[in-house]
Amino acid sequence: MALQSLDIRRMSATTVQEPVARTPVTGTVAKLIDVSKCIGCKACQTACMEWNDLRDEVGETSGIYDNPRDLTDQSWTVMRFSEVEKNDGNLEWLIRKDGCMHCDDPGCLKACPSPGAIVQYTNGIVDFHQENCIGCGYCVAGCPFDVPRISKKDDRAYKCTLCSDRVAVGQEPACVKTCPTGAIVFGTKEDMKVHASERIEDLKSRGYANAGLYDPAGVGGTHVMYVLHHADQPGLYHGLKKNPSISPVVGLWKGLTKPLALAGIAVTALAGFFHYTRVGPNEVSKEEEAEALHEADSIRESEK
């Protein structure tokens, strides 16, 4: 989304402290998706298209309910349908609304080399500012959830904004507004956790002993959380990662390596400067030139 009136907590490719005088006293926000309440109607997908003015290309049906088949620069959320056979022979149809998880420690932001192309607002929302995006695709490598998509039209990265423009003026995201079963709710992260615990209690009383909240600590928690009936096996829900975290390779690439390498380069250049000012240049004296000419003559003489 374009620049808007939300305070920024973190900005990509920026080393200075962001302004922190104003921090929301109510904490951050979160969207809670109760998978057990979702009926897979895809109204959220439609609301997302409508509010964000997105129109993906009409694809082809491939025999499964996922439509479109994957997230794209025009489809920021996709319902993932998983058919799971249980031990007692019954079938469970698990439907997960996929999209950006708005990590508290966002891998995309860590990987982004373009100042201000990815920001995290003080309310926790992670947003892409396409006007600053250079299209390198490092955010794709940084994301633990495979969410960002680069547009072929403008070579800029897109993903769910958590409707930061709506949130900025006190409204809930479009998907939340439209969800007919109340499976998606929005509020402060604190409130959402309380709401989730009530839902989990209810699910447990209905026989889902492993019901729980998905708010993975490996990425500092997320600002999109799930209530899962099988929280012990998040992989059932279209391969949702159990312990997602920023890849250690990205951590190394974008972490300690950066200042160390820069210091190494600076030290190498300085070493040259100080060598020159201490030892001095290696020059050929007039005598050495004369000796060389003399030696050349004698070599040529002996060759004759």
Partner 1 sequence: MSTPNRDNDGNPLIERYTPNERSNHWITAICFVLLAVSGLALFHPAMAWMAVFLGGGQWTRILHPFIGLVMFVSFALLVLRFWRHNLIEKGDKQWLKQIDDVVNNREEKLPPVGHYNAGQKLLFWVLILCMLGLLLSGVVLWRAYFSFYFPIEIVRLAGLLHAFCAFVIICSIIVHIYAGIWVKGSIGAMVRGTVSYGWARKHHPRWFAEVVRKTRD
Size of the site for partner 1 (CB under 8 A): 53
Tokens 């959220």 correspond to what residue?
A: 44
227 DSSP β-pair partners: 34, 213
* Sheet with 118-121, edge to edge strand ranges: 8-11, 118-121, 126-128
- Residue placing its CB nearer to partner 1 in the complex, 243 or 257: 257
Per-residue contact string for residues 83-112; x = within reach of partner 1 by CB under 8 A: ----------------------------x-
* DSSP letter string, 156-187: -EE---TTHHHHHTT---HHHHH-TTS-EEEE
Nearest to 32 by CA among 228, 208, 218: 228
Per-residue contact string for residues 144-183; x = within reach of partner 1 by CB under 8 A: --x---x----x----------------------------
Contact predicate 31/167, CB 8 Å: no
Q: How many CB atoms lie within 10 A of CB 166?
A: 18
Residue from 5, 15, 90, 205 binding partner 1 (CB under 8 A): 15
Residues 228-247 that bind partner 1 (CB under 8 A): 247
- Residue placing its CB nearer to partner 1 in the complex, 125 or 150: 150
The residues of the shown chain that bind partner 1, judged by CB under 8 A, are: 13-15, 111, 113-115, 132, 134-138, 140-141, 146, 150, 155, 247, 249-250, 252-253, 257-259, 261-262, 264-265, 268-269, 272, 275-276, 279-285, 288-293, 295-296, 299-300, 303
